[in-house]
Structure 1
Amino acid sequence: MRALVLVGACLWAGAARAEDMAFDAEAWPYSAIGKLNVVLGTNRLQSCTATLIGPRLALTAAHCLWDEPRKRWVNPGVVHFVAGYRQGAYRAHSLAAAYRKPDDYAFAYGTARPNMQGDWVLIELADPIPGTPLTLEDPGAEADPAAIRREIRRAGYSRLKPQLMTAQGGCSAWRDPGPAPLLLHDCRAVPGESGSALLQVEAGNPVVIGVLVAGSREEGRAPSVAVPTAAFRETAAAMLKAQATTR
């Protein structure tokens, strides 16, 4: 992580300052964001944030499905997507039926620089979640990899406030100049917010431009990390197409 911080330092110095924002968690696009609960055993629960990109397809970070004590990936049946969660109440719920992540993604606790670009997973839900999902950004929006993208939003369930969704606006994001296809950004990133989507308005509507996978160890002084949609767009399109033909 330290090497990544140094690479992006110059760009980050010119980015806008992210800030907490007021929002309606029941209104779109925030209604497409939910809490991801993974039951590891009796009184053992780990949580992240996930985003609906289809009625039965949710996007999050792959490391959210890693059982660290057992050193293995969890079974889909212990993964719960909870839409509209707020202090014990929620709008809808579904177990996972299956999930797809990069075959070569090997998790290292705390995330390691060489494998960070594979830290994404698409979760196929057993039941459809009502409401309007978010969409992934159009490939043409990535035409200028050197551009700083401004007015980014991000919402999720942090470990600091696990019963409420919180959001930030005014974030900036830019491509990591290193060899791996990653987005650096100045949105907050604390445990529980992993897997939350970075959103940017495109043609009048918010779209997903990346998924949060890592925070900086130097809070407020260095960028956090997201995997851009280019890494999983084709896989998502194939899964959405398959779901549309089987519903």
Structure 2
Amino acid sequence: MKKILTIFFIFLMAGQAHADSKLKTFRTGDDSKGWEAVGRLDFDGRSFCTGALITETLVLTAAHCMYDIDDHTPHRPKDITFKAGWRNGQAQAYRAAKAIYVHPGFALNSGDLHDRLVNDVALVELDRPVRNSSVRPFSVSARPEKGQAVGVVSYAHDRAESPSLQELCHVVARQGGVLVTSCEVDFGSSGAPIFDMTGATPRIVSVVSAKAKFRGDRVSVGTSLDGALSDLLQMASAGRSTFKKASTEPLPELTHTEYVVGISGQ
């Protein structure tokens, strides 16, 4: 935990080295073209997260999204709906969940912040493939270098009906499988894909796990996909869906950084 906190203090004291782009809301079909594989994961109408298709049947998101926001019990697949390209009351595809795969190293109530963040990744298997010419699953790439430009597409509590793109933000630190970025996120952004924007097409390099705030400055924390995604894909291939039971006790609090872990929308 000390290493993660040190990263935050170094970054916030040093200041931001690059100018970031502002959020751009997808108001029209043209705005969202090419991003339709990002969608909203709805949990029985009570909360939501962001997710992205990486195959026709698998949605990549954050592990903590797979637990109820109030009592921390695991969500049931039948309570989950993925809305690909959800914008202004309509989606390019609606799919129910068939199975949930949470990384086996993730524990919602772990007192070890690093372990909780580095394994905060999950896959939702859909009941039917999404085969739509306008919804193309994203490729996944190796984690980016410090200082690299990245982008994020996410929903949030105050923009739940249309996603927003921040096309230019930056990796400000890397620490043992955790990425700290300057990307703007808020409640509902959990599980949002963070993209490497340097190639011909965007490639997912991380998913949003949490946000942090210190002296008015905002940073976001992402889970690196190195190794973790391979573990999940093997679980999905074998059909091994497991959850670690979460306590109903409050999550351990972190001081000094005003850290917020678990930012599902409500």
Q: Which moved more, 1:210-219 or 1:233-242?
A: 233-242
Which is further off, 230-239 or 86-95? 230-239
How much has 1:213 moved relative to structure 2? 0.7
Give the alignment partner of residue 186 of structure 1, picking from 182, 187, 190: 182
Deviation at 1:12, TM superposition (A): 5.7
Question: What does residue 50 of structure 1 align with?
Answer: 51
* Larger displacement relative to structure 2 (65-74 or 216-225): 216-225
What displacement does 1:14 show? 1.8
Q: State how many pairs are aligned.
A: 229
Equivalent position amino acid for 1:136 in 2: V
Aligned-residue CA RMSD (Å)? 2.7
Identity %: 22
Q: Does 1:35 align with 2:52?
A: no
Counterpart-to-counterpart distance in 2, 1:155 and 1:233: 19
Who is 1:173 aligned against? 171
- Aligned pair 1:216/2:216, yes or no? no
Residue 91 of structure 2 aligns to a residue whose secondary structure is coil
Which structure dedicates a bigger proportion of its chain to helix?
1
- One-letter code aligned to 1:134: F
Q: CA deviation at 1:15?
A: 3.5
Q: Give the 5 Å matches for 1:6-155.
A: 6-9=9-12, 13-21=16-24, 24-28=30-34, 30-39=35-44, 45-108=46-109, 112-130=113-131, 131-137=135-141, 139=142, 145=145, 147-150=146-149, 152-155=150-153
Specify the code of the residue in structure 2 equivalent to 1:149: Q
Deviation at 1:88, TM superposition (A): 1.8
SS at match of 2:177: coil
Distance 1:68 1:48 in 2: 11
Return the TM-score normalized by structure 2: 0.76
Name which of structure 1's ranges 92-101 and 195-204 shifts more when overlaid on structure 2. 195-204
| Kept after mapping to 1: 8 A contact 2:25/2:163 | no
- Deviating beyond 2 angstroms after TM superposition, the runs of 4 or more aligned structure 1 residues are 1-4, 7-13, 15-18, 21-26, 68-71, 111-114, 174-177, 217-220, 235-243
C-alpha separation in 1, matches of 2:78 and 2:215? 35
Residues 207 and 19 of structure 1, relative CA distance in 2, 3 Å threshold: same
1:67 positional shift? 1.2
Q: Distance in 1 between matches of 2:129 and 2:79?
A: 17
Distance 1:7 1:235 in 2: 32
Moved more, 45-54 or 77-86: 77-86
Code of the aligned partner of 1:21: K
> Matches of 1:56 and 1:99 in 2, distance apart?
12
Q: 1:4 to 1:115 in 2, by over 3 A?
A: farther
Query: AA paired with 2:140?
Result: L
Mark the runs of 5 or more structure 2 residues left unpaired by the alignment: 240-266
CA gap of 1:182–1:107, structure 2 versus 1, over 3 A, is: same
Instruction: Measure how far apart 1:100 and its partner are.
Output: 1.2
Q: Secondary structure at the match of 1:77?
A: helix
